[in-house]
């Protein structure tokens, strides 16, 4: 644990030194959705809130992905050279490939979507960006690839269920993994709608999985989480209200998918569902709203996702975010308990 804490602190320092010039560059190049943040004819609370953030640059996730990946590439050989014992549950190269394939591939998809929005390359109904069906298709393909790599390369097909033990899913593990990866990918992206909300919840969740990864003695996974967590901590300083920087799709898609993979690699899917419950609730509220409108031609909620409903009923943005953090702290404690019983 002392090594992991040192790695976390080192990652935080490197990210902290890099983030200010990065933010200044984004402001200089005006990397934000200055024209099509939302349709100007919409006057609901969500639209007004999004418009108020339209001059804040996006792309913080790109910095975290880049620095975390580079440090990991140099750190693993260095630790081996210095004689540190590298304990791993799975074939180490295959495990690292899966972690970073997810981290980078979903990040590249999000980066492409951010660039399309920035240059307004694909206008649809007054909004620029990848079409939802296209994005979901690519996410599903990537999720199935990751699930297949876990099943065939690592031999993972189990889920630990508290009080019942281990359940073997066989090849059905592949679609299960894909569903979790795509679900968390989009849920975190939806949750990233208020200053500090998604990044703060992710920070708290990663602390929980850092503890779980050390309990299963998986050094590569623990190092990855510690490096990633250091970047999130540095980013959160500039993402809390009033935010100077957003994750962008490059960060939201990558981090949601990677959080799911972390849960799958530890075999603690139930803990993942508990720890990630705020993301699930926010994502499901948006999905159910869309489904209800299309099928029944009416809304199930006055406004979705749920953090905008709380804004609509009079909660301030900082109150929503801080109470979500408190709820997630409890859920992380509960999730860890479920994972170790």
Nearest to 59 by CA among 275, 333, 267, 247: 247
Is 218 within any annotated ligand binding site? Answer: no
Are 160 and 269 within 8 A, CB to CB?
yes
Is 157 within any annotated ligand binding site? Answer: no
Tell me how far apart the alpha carbons of residues 315 and 303 are, in angstroms, rounded to a whole number: 14
Are 250 and 311 within 8 A, CB to CB?
no
Nearest to 281 by CA among 257, 309, 261, 259: 309
First-to-last C-alpha distance (Å) of the chain: 21
Q: Could you tell me the CA-to-CA distances from 167 to 114, 161, 283 in Å, in that order?
A: 39, 7, 27
Element (H, E) at 160: strand 158-161
Q: Could you tell me the CA-to-CA distances from 107 to 41, 174, 228 in Å, in that order?
A: 31, 21, 14
What residues form the annotated binding site for Mg(2+)?
A: 189, 249
What residues form the annotated binding site?
A: 189, 249
């Amino acid at each position: 644990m002392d090594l992991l804490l040192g790695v976390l602190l080192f990652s935080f320092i490197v990210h902290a030194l890099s983030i200010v010039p990065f933010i200044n560059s984004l402001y200089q190049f005006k990397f934000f959705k200055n024209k099509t943040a939302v349709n100007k004819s919409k006057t609901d609370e969500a639209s007004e809130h999004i418009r108020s953030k339209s001059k804040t640059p996006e792309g913080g996730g790109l910095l975290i992905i880049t620095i975390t990946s580079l440090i990991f590439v140099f750190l693993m050989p260095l630790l081996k050279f210095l004689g540190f014992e590298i304990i791993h549950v799975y074939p180490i190269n295959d495990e690292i490939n899966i972690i970073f394939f997810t981290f980078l591939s979903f990040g590249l998809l999000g980066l492409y979507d951010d660039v399309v929005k920035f240059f307004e390359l694909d206008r649809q109904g007054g909004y620029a960006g990848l079409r939802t069906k296209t994005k979901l298709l690519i996410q599903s393909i990537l999720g199935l690839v990751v699930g297949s790599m876990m099943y065939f390369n690592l031999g993972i097909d189990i889920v630990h269920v508290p009080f019942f033990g281990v359940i073997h899913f066989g090849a059905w593990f592949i679609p299960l993994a894909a569903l979790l990866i795509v679900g968390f990918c989009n849920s975190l992206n939806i949750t990233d709608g208020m200053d500090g909300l998604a990044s703060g919840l992710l920070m708290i969740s990663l602390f929980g999985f850092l503890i779980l990864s050390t309990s299963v003695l998986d050094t590569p996974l623990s190092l990855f989480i510690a490096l990633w967590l250091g970047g999130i901590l540095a980013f959160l300083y500039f993402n809390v209200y009033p935010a100077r920087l957003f994750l962008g799709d490059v960060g939201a898609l990558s981090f949601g998918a990677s959080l799911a993979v972390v849960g799958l690699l530890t075999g603690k899917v139930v803990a993942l569902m508990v720890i990630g419950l705020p993301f699930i609730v926010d994502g499901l509220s948006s999905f159910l709203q869309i489904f209800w409108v299309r099928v029944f031609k009416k809304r199930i909620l006055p406004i979705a996702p749920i953090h905008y409903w709380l804004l609509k009923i009079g909660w301030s943005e900082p109150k929503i975010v801080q109470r979500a953090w408190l709820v997630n702290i409890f859920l992380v404690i509960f999730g860890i308990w479920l994972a170790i019983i």
